[in-house]
């Protein structure tokens, strides 16, 4: 992790209410990256996150000065999708359904673990229900490493920008909010989710290539993060 060079960022938090003063430690401990304030740099995505089927929502708007903050960006070249998965496995609540998935989880947590305890912020994928199911398919050996990487880009899920530390919370400045109507934004959210699932099943899940890498091979060869096949 290095201090972030992009000093001033505009970020958004989707919610069913206006949040002028977010509280540290107020989130659920079993979110993707543990407790934190989950935001996005995409306004449309925040509007989708803020609505439900029968309720309007809000995209709360903030600016944050990232000068000297330690930001773990999981999109950096030094990380692969298994680093992201290790954090997900550490925080999310889920049921292991096969011996292979149990062994895969243990290996990924051991070999691809990242110490993010000192990170002020984390940038990475958001694993909603559809995308979490893609990760579980990989652990169960039904899709390849390549397919998992491709699946995470389906439906233009976007990235999360998660505030983790008191230092980062103190940099948040509330700048207003945008209203998201359920009629417009819930439909968009559902359409995007359905499109991702459809692409996954139609184009990805059943498309195997000769050199595809599966979790069984990663375990058998005891692959490490510096293995070129994981890049």
Q: Would you give per-residue pLDDT tens digits along the chain (231 residues)?
A: 554 447 899 999 999 999 999 988 776 778 889 999 999 999 999 999 999 999 999 999 999 999 999 999 998 999 999 999 999 999 988 888 899 999 999 999 999 999 999 999 999 988 776 678 888 999 999 899 998 888 776 655 568 999 999 999 999 999 999 999 999 999 888 887 777 777 766 655 567 788 899 999 999 999 999 999 998
Q: Which pLDDT score, from 0 to 100, does residue 118 have?
A: 94
Output the CA–CA distances (angstroms, integers) from residue 88 to 60, 61, 105, 178, in the order listed: 25, 26, 10, 30
Q: Which pLDDT score, from 0 to 100, does residue 209 have?
A: 80
Q: pTM for this one?
A: 0.88
Token output for 11: 């970020």
Q: Which pLDDT score, from 0 to 100, does residue 145 have?
A: 94
**How far is 66 from 70, CA to CA, in rounded Å?**
8
Q: Which pLDDT score, from 0 to 100, does residue 1 have?
A: 57
**How far is 131 from 129, CA to CA, in rounded Å?**
6
Chain centroid offset of residue 112 CA: 16
**How far is 213 from 149, CA to CA, in rounded Å?**
11
Query: Among residues 3, 193, 168, 1, which one has the least CA distance to residue 78?
Result: 1
Domain ranges of the chain: 2-230
Q: Which pLDDT score, from 0 to 100, does residue 97 have?
A: 83
């Amino acid at each position: 992790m290095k201090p972030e060079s992009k000093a001033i960022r505009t970020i958004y938090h989707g919610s069913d209410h206006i949040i002028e003063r977010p509280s540290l430690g107020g989130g659920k401990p079993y979110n993707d990256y543990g407790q934190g304030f989950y935001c996005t740099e995409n306004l449309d995505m925040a509007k989708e996150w803020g609505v439900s089927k029968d309720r309007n929502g809000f995209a709360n708007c903030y600016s944050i000065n990232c000068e000297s903050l330690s930001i773990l960006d999981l999109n950096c070249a030094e990380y692969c999708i298994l680093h992201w998965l290790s954090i997900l496995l550490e925080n999310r609540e889920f049921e292991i359904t096969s011996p292979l998935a149990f062994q895969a989880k243990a290996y990924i947590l051991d070999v691809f673990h990242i110490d993010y305890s000192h990170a002020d912020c984390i940038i990475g994928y958001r694993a909603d229900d559809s995308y979490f199911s893609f990760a579980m398919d990989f652990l169960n050996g039904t899709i390849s490493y390549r397919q998992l990487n491709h699946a995470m880009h389906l439906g233009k899920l976007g990235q999360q920008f998660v505030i983790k530390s008191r230092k980062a919370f103190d940099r948040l400045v509330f700048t207003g909010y945008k209203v998201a109507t359920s009629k417009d934004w819930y439909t968009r959210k559902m359409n995007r989710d359905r499109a991702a699932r459809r692409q996954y099943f139609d184009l990805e899940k059943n498309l195997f290539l000769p050199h595809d890498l599966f979790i069984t091979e990663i375990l058998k060869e005891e692959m490490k993060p510096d293995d070129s096949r994981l890049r």
